[in-house]
Amino acid sequence: MSWKIWSLKKSVWVFHVNTGACNNCDIEIVNLLTPRYDVERLGIKLVGSPRHADALLVTGVVTAQAAPRLREVYRQTSKPCVVFAMGACACHTGIFNGGYHVVGPVDKIIREVDPNAIIAYVPGCPPKPEAMISGVVKALSVL
């Protein structure tokens, strides 16, 4: 294991990107950070800039307006970077499939920038906080 991967897994700093979510997934993410689940005790921390982040937490279908922003945010994160597609919309556009503004899903946009990106999917509408933690654990354990 390279030291980069080791240090990433030690404490994952996360940048949250909303690319057109309905806010339901975002509320569940807030739920992760508040005392009930408190993922900061596991070293998972929300940061304010993609340049500080080890992982991107992407919620929502990618809309036409948000796609260039998501690409830019991914370019600015330090690599290796894990992308978590949170919720049904981010995984496969969900109920918004075929909408006039939808260019997603998230993995398609990320792979345009980096074909070898590490992408983890957490389906659910919204996924439970437990499912999100489980997704992070599973993604990190295969790195």
Partner 1 sequence: MNQEELNNRLSEIRDKLINIEQTMDSRIFLLCEAENSFAVSRFLFKDLSLRFVIATGIDSEDCFEILYHFSNDETGCVVTVKAFIRDRENPSIESITPFIPAAEWIEREIHDILGIEIKNHPNMRRLILADDWPEGVYPLRKDFKR
Assess 98 for contact with partner 1 (CB under 8 A): yes
Site map 7..36 versus partner 1, x via CB under 8 A: ------------------------------
Identify any residues that bridge with 122 across adjacent strands, giving them in sequence order: 86
Assess 113 for contact with partner 1 (CB under 8 A): no
| Residue 17: both structure tokens together | 């990107």
Among 31, 101, 114, 123, the residue binding partner 1 under the rule CB under 8 A is 101
CB closer to partner 1 out of 40 and 72: 72
Q: How many CB atoms sit inside 10 A of residue 9's CB?
A: 16
Backbone torsions φ then ψ of 45, nearest 5 degrees = -135, 140
Q: How many CB atoms sit inside 10 A of residue 3's CB?
A: 7
User: Distance (Å, rounded) from C-alpha 107 to C-alpha 124?
Assistant: 16
Among 7, 65, 76, 97, the residue binding partner 1 under the rule CB under 8 A is 65
> Whole-number minimum distance, CB 26 to partner 1, in Å?
20
Assess 100 for contact with partner 1 (CB under 8 A): yes
Using the contact rule CB under 8 A, the part of the chain among 34-42, 43-51, 57-65, 86-94 near partner 1 is: 57-65
CB closer to partner 1 out of 18 and 63: 63
Q: Could you say which DSSP state residue 11 is in?
A: S
Residues 6+ apart with CB under 8 A from 63: 19, 20, 101, 102, 103, 104
> Whole-number minimum distance, CB 100 to partner 1, in Å?
4
User: Distance (Å, rounded) from C-alpha 23 to C-alpha 37?
Assistant: 19
The binding site for partner 1 (CB under 8 A) comprises: 63-65, 98, 100-101
